[in-house]
């Protein structure tokens, strides 16, 4: 049994605790911290947590606590992780790791110097659909991944601090882009270096200083492209969609909003529907088990198993740092309106990768461009002459 200190009692702290206590889990949150005395007391009562406090160090330094889970606003991550390192406790931190890459790098160096276990809680690479798709990609089901697209959009975050760049570090890009960037990076290969980015962002709907819509491209050293789309201006709930394109196939996933569970309610008495749902009437799209569908169960299982076995989890603070560097480059691109280099302080992946190439020979003279069967059942090939470069077609 692992005994956990939960830092934060907002939406993410709620989801985390639901997951950790779910399905008769042997692991328990035994101490909870919040800046609000009223909120932390109620949270402790709701989840049957024996100890609660409004002093962060009291929770972290509790001698019974094995693991600290950071579910706080972005500007508080570093202080919480420093306290965990000083107490010698394993620490798991919600996304994004930090408000910017410099802060993320400091955090990474702190935990590595302290020699403590660190896990980056990027839940969307742990969704059941993602894990299944990733396993298929690893087995070569779609060939070499050349493009991965991830989209997350909803009407905007629940808490006021998200909307304040000095606390959060940015807007929709840093809030949602961290998910989308890591999803694409996972499919393309985390050992393949991100090289440069192109990003557009604007504030289209909300009267805020940060961006509420951002779209970007991340180019990797092998030529693969990661594409992300994020928005706080989408109406109709929360949309989580991923696509992966390979040389021999493709994958499409809808993780939320359209999951095969649809309900029509005229009176609107269904109660809570799903995260970011905007209505309880008409056609609504409940989610059977949010903490499972959003990846929290698999994520914590991986983290806690890694702690038990003294192994590396799927996501650690180095991954969080890489994501922060990519997002920093995106913010530079938004200003310059140009491709911007991803400036990594340290790269721990492969230095040399083969450029993506899926050219197929038709015979000694031609490359195969395309082959198809037409409506009248004729078979046709389009070919490129290896010497002259001419494109021709012929029936076969």
Catalogue the E-assigned strands of the chain. 3-7, 28-33, 51-53, 67-70, 90-94, 118-121, 145-153, 194-202, 213-220, 225-231, 239-246, 249-256, 263-265, 282-284, 340-341, 360-361, 366-373, 379-385, 391-395
Distance CA 191, CA 185 (A): 9
CA distances from 222 to 140, 177, 193, 322, 378 (A): 17, 22, 8, 17, 37
* CB burial of residue 82 (10 Å; 0-12, 13-18, 19+): middle
List CB contacts of 276: < 8 A, sequence separation 6 or more. Answer: 154, 155, 237, 238
What CA–CA distance (Å, rounded) separates 207 from 116? 42
The predicted pLDDT at position 258 comes to 80
* Mean pLDDT for back-to-back runs of 10 residues, the chain (396 residues): 97 97 92 97 98 98 98 98 98 98 98 98 97 96 97 95 97 98 98 98 96 98 98 92 96 87 78 75 84 95 97 98 98 98 98 86 93 91 94 92
Q: How high is the pLDDT of residue 269?
A: 65
pTM: 0.92
What 3-state DSSP class applies to 106? Answer: helix
Instruction: Give all domains of the chain, ordered by start, each with its CATH number.
Output: 3-122 (3.40.50.720), 125-298+308-341 (3.30.360.10), 360-395 (no CATH)
In angstroms, rounded to a whole number, what is the distance separating the alpha carbons of residues 396 and 394? Answer: 6
Alpha-carbon gap, residue 52 to 48, rounded angstroms? 10
Q: Return the pLDDT at 51.
A: 98
Give the orientation angle of helix 11-21 with respect to helix 37-46, to 10 degrees.
Answer: 20
- Quote the pLDDT of residue 284: 82
Residue 77 has a CB neighbour count (10 Å cut-off) of: 26
Residue in 268, 299, 278 with CA at minimum distance from that of residue 18: 299
Q: Which residues contact 81 (CB under 8 A, 6 or more apart)?
A: 70, 91, 93, 107, 110, 111
Q: How far apart are alpha carbons 325 and 322 in whole angstroms?
A: 5
Structure tokens at 241: 């969609």
Residues 6+ apart with CB under 8 A from 20: 4, 27, 28, 29, 69, 300
Inter-axis angle of helices 178-188 and 317-336, nearest 10:
110
CA distance 231 to 169: 16
Cα-only R_g, the chain: 23
């Amino acid at each position: 049994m692992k005994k956990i200190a939960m830092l934060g009692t907002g939406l993410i702290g709620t989801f985390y605790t639901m997951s950790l206590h779910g399905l008769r889990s042997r692991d328990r949150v035994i101490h909870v911290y919040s800046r609000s005395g009223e909120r932390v007391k109620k949270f402790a009562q709701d989840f049957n947590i024996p100890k609660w406090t409004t002093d962060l160090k009291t929770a972290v330094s509790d001698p019974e606590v094995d693991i600290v889970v950071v579910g706080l606003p972005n500007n508080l991550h570093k202080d919480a992780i420093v306290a965990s390192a000083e107490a010698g406790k394993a620490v798991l931190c919600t996304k994004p790791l930090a408000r910017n890459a410099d802060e993320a790098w400091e955090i990474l160096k702190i935990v590595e110097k302290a020699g403590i276990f660190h896990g980056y809680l990027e839940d969307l690479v742990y969704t059941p659909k993602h894990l299944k798709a990733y396993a298929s990609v690893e087995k070569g089901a779609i060939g070499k991944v050349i493009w991965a697209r991830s989209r997350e959009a909803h009407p905007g975050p629940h808490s006021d601090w998200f909307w304040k760049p000095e606390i959060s570090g940015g807007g929709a890009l840093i809030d949602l882009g961290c998910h989308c960037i890591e999803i694409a990076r996972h499919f393309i290969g985390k050992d393949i270096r991100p090289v440069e980015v192109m990003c557009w962002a604007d504030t289209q709907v909300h009267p805020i200083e940060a961006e509420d819509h951002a779209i970007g491209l991340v180019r990797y050293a092998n030529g693969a492209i990661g594409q992300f789309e994020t928005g706080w201006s989408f109406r109709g709930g929360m949309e989580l969609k991923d696509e992966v394109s390979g040389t021999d196939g493709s994958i499409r996933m809808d993780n939320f909003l359209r999951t095969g569970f649809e309900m029509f309610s005229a009176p609107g008495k269904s109660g809570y529907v799903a995260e970011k749902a905007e209505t309880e009437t008409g056609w609504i799209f409940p989610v059977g088990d949010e903490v499972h569908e959003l990846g929290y169960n698999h994520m914590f299982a991986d983290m806690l198993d890694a702690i038990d076995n003294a192994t590396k989890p799927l996501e650690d603070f180095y991954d969080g740092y890489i994501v922060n560097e990519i997002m920093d480059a995106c913010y530079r691109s938004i200003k310059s309106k140009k491709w911007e280099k991803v400036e990594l302080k340290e790269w721990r992946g492969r230095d040399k990768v083969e450029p993506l190439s899926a050219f197929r020979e038709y015979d000694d003279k031609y490359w195969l461009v395309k082959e198809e069967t037409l409506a009248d059942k004729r078979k046709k090939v389009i070919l490129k002459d290896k010497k002259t470069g001419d494109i021709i077609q012929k029936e076969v």
